[in-house]
Amino acid sequence: MGAKPTTITGLSGTGDIMLTCFVNLSRNKTVGVRLGSGQKLDDILNSMNQVAEGVSTAGAVIALAQKYKVKMPVLTAVARIIDNELTPTKAVRELMNLPQVEEV
């Protein structure tokens, strides 16, 4: 799509991903942890006074991945959980049962 390779390796790429995954102040991580504990998305979002942008952008990322034929099984599972098509427990089972493939 024309991105510079250095974007993913900089603070706006890898740095943001690391913070989202590992820092307890991350809004997206908070939503994910709470979803995983069985809370309903609407209840989670209504209790927050900040925006967890991953909730509204997951579907757009999946659409782009499909357009460019990029497999994103984890994010696809997350989007399905957000859309209430899949429970976190079922998502983990599905992901763990995917065939192993060689990574690029």
Biggest CA–CA distance in the chain, Å, is 42
Q: Does position 103 have pLDDT exceeding 80, yes or no?
A: no
Question: Does the pTM exceed 0.85?
Answer: no
Q: Does position 13 have pLDDT exceeding 90, yes or no?
A: no
Alpha-carbon gap, residue 79 to 60, rounded angstroms: 9
* CATH assignment of the domain containing 62: 1.10.1040.10
| Residue 71 within a domain | yes
Q: What is the mean pLDDT of residues 30-39?
A: 95
Q: Does position 9 have pLDDT exceeding 90, yes or no?
A: no
Per-residue CA distances from 4 to 7, 14, 44, 76, 96 (Å) = 6, 13, 35, 24, 32
Q: Domain range for residue 74? A: 5-96
Contacts of 1 (CB under 8 A, 6+ apart): 64, 68
What the block records as the tokens of 74 is: 């984890």
pLDDT tens-digit series, residues 60-92: 999 999 999 999 999 999 999 999 999 999 999
